[in-house]
Amino acid sequence: MAQSHDWVTPRLNGQPWFEKPILYYGSAASAFKVFGVSDFAARLPAALAALLAALAMAWTAWRCYGPATAALVLLLMPTSVAIVGFARAATPDMLLTATLAAAMALGAELVVAQKPDLLHRLGFGIFLGAAALAKGPAAVALAGGSVALWALLARQWRRAFRLMHPVSIAAFALVALPWYLLCAARNPDFLYVFLWQHNVERFLTPVFHHLQPWWFFLPIMILAVFPWSALLFALGNDAAQAFRARDWAARPGLYFGCWSFFTVLFFSISRSKLPVYILPAVPPLLLLLADSAARIINRGDEAARGIAMGLGATWVALIAGAEIWLWRHPAGFPLTGISILQSSLIPVAAIGAVIAALGSRGRIAAALLANAALVALLLALANWFVLPALDANYSSRAAAKAAAPTIGAGAVDVYRLDRAWQYGLEYYLGRTMPDWTPAESLPILLFTNEGGCNDFRRRGMNCEPLEKTAPKAWLVRLSAPVNHSSRSTPLEKPPR
């Protein structure tokens, strides 16, 4: 988009690509125009979206619960695994999560407040329209289903219809519809490919082979809010107390709980399941956990101290599991060769024990702060030491950098290469790399792996590795053996 100035049709290798709508692609292209083509620019939209999500949840926490919960939201959101991970990812998922979070935060004002504000109606429509531009009609389904579930349980259908105010509908249409109409006008197959194949078929059938059991997202949600998972016990206790008091329907927590629960339920019904699908359920859950954290700070009773101790015990259990897991892997496993990782496991467990000790002494606020500080420390260590050491094993960046001088401006193909590695190499090398076919003349440069090289050799062809920086993406020179024609050893293209 940045090069072609076509800001309507998303493309992959020059061909229309309708897997996702425009919001991430346009945002990344805009970042490229401002900062140049770089990993920083590609990830900037997700990082800014994560900031928007945190601010939106803190704002609605302040409105519904007060400043203490709002402050804890700002502590929990940037230090939970799901938010940290996808704030760094060049994908549309955080943009959907953030725009939906902003829309639902304003929706809370519309359905909970006695006198809804016109600006809230306008903002709700704008952000929901942006969410529809992030990942499509699923945004409307998630917002509508969540509010419908809340209205059913709270028996507040008239308030739920406030979200369908003409101002909100008009704002949504002005933000979302122009791109959909333009893209459909320029691409006759857009509606079928995007709406049917990538939304309806993806939801109703396992056509994309992401089949998982119905309970798949339950452990994912527990992991998503790590290292705050122990607060789920506090949240469960608060929910039980609200149920016993019989005032749960009037509490704002019901709205946020329906938002998180419906998101998990919606994607649990889907035949296609990936962990990232339930990212929009994480911000409301973290808000509820922040409110529960504020409550245990105020109570400071034995149960509250036990939950705070659980935060530290989680780290100790995690490190013990990591030690066993690493011990069971061979010496050549990438993580086993990182000395800083090995040497930091015991100190992390020790800090976890300190957090548990703070909780046992009733210093719950200090335990929460130490928990967040440990995440920040580990993230810094990962950025400086762990991730650079893993780069060649899990990213195509190192392979592309090492191969660039050899390739120059020449052509390069791929054979038996994982799709993610192929796309990454094309991004970093700035070119399209077609699949190798037997009809091509030899010698030729191509990216493959050890298995692909062995395929060529078994059929009598020369496969000379030129660059083996990344185990999953070797740069090789493929040539025919001496005194033999490349046509004498045909090689069938494997199914992809």
Question: Is position 371 within any domain?
Answer: yes
Query: What pLDDT score was predicted for residue 489?
Result: 45
Answer yes or no: do 353 and 204 share one domain. Answer: no
Answer yes or no: do 268 and 288 share one domain. Answer: yes
**For residue 447, what are the β-bridge partners?**
414, 475
In 186-272, DSSP assigns E strands to: none
Answer yes or no: do 245 and 326 share one domain. Answer: no
Answer yes or no: do 116 and 53 share one domain. Answer: yes
Nearest CA among 457, 463, 391, 403 for reference residue 433: 403
Query: What pLDDT score was predicted for residue 208?
Result: 64
Question: Is position 72 within any domain?
Answer: yes
The CB-based long-range contact list for 407-412 (8 Å cut-off, 24+ gap) reads 407/445, 407/475, 410/445, 411/444, 411/445, 412/445, 412/446, 412/447, 412/475
Nearest CA among 228, 221, 225 for reference residue 367: 228
Query: What pLDDT score was predicted for residue 108?
Result: 94
Q: What is the pLDDT along the chain (496 residues), one digit of tens a residue?
A: 998 899 999 998 888 999 899 999 999 999 999 999 999 999 999 999 999 999 999 999 999 999 999 999 999 999 999 999 999 999 999 999 999 999 999 999 998 877 788 999 999 999 999 999 999 999 999 999 999 999 999 998 889 999 999 999 999 999 999 999 999 999 999 989 988 888 888 777 776 666 688 889 999 999 999 999 999 999 999 999 988 888 888 889 999 999 999 999 999 998 888 888 999 999 999 999 999 999 999 988 889 999 999 999 999 988 888 777 667 766 666 666 666 666 778 888 899 999 999 999 999 999 999 999 999 999 998 888 888 888 888 889 999 999 999 998 888 999 999 988 999 999 999 889 999 988 888 889 999 999 999 999 998 899 999 999 998 999 999 998 865 444 444 444 554 4
Answer yes or no: do 259 and 325 share one domain. Answer: no
Decide: helix, strand or coil at residue 195. Answer: helix
- The answer to whether the predicted template modeling score (pTM) of the entire model surpasses 0.85 is yes
Query: What pLDDT score was predicted for residue 342?
Result: 66
Query: What pLDDT score was predicted for residue 331?
Result: 63
Answer yes or no: do 152 and 27 share one domain. Answer: yes
Answer yes or no: do 206 and 226 share one domain. Answer: yes
Answer yes or no: do 258 and 122 share one domain. Answer: yes
Residue that terminates a domain, selected from 296, 321, 352: 296
Residue that terminates a domain, selected from 296, 317, 341: 296
Task: Enter the tokens of residue 444.
Answer: 């030729």
Answer yes or no: do 126 and 188 share one domain. Answer: yes
Nearest CA among 290, 282, 265, 262 for reference residue 153: 262
Single-letter amino acid, residue 210: H
Decide: helix, strand or coil at residue 209. Answer: coil
**What DSSP character marks residue 37?**
S
Question: Is position 496 within any domain?
Answer: no
Answer yes or no: do 214 and 338 share one domain. Answer: no
Question: Is position 477 within any domain?
Answer: yes
Nearest CA among 202, 105, 86, 96 for reference residue 140: 96
CA 337 – CA 335 distance, rounded (Å): 5
Spell out the residues 6+ positions from residue 150 whose beta carbon is closer than 8 angstroms to its own: 111, 156, 160, 254, 255, 258, 259
Query: What pLDDT score was predicted for residue 347?
Result: 86
CA 442 – CA 403 distance, rounded (Å): 19
Range of the domain at 319: 300-391
Question: Is position 79 within any domain?
Answer: yes
Question: Is position 370 within any domain?
Answer: yes
Question: How many structural domains does the chain have?
Answer: 3
Answer yes or no: do 333 and 193 share one domain. Answer: no
Answer yes or no: do 284 and 241 share one domain. Answer: yes
Question: Is position 2 within any domain?
Answer: no
Residue that terminates a domain, selected from 391, 421, 444: 391
Question: Is position 493 within any domain?
Answer: no
Helix count and strand count (H, E) for the chain? 22, 6
Asked whether 437 and 446 are in contact (CB, 8 A), the reply is no
- Strands of the 444-448 sheet, one edge to the other: 413-414, 444-448, 473-479, 462-470
Asked whether 129 and 172 are in contact (CB, 8 A), the reply is yes
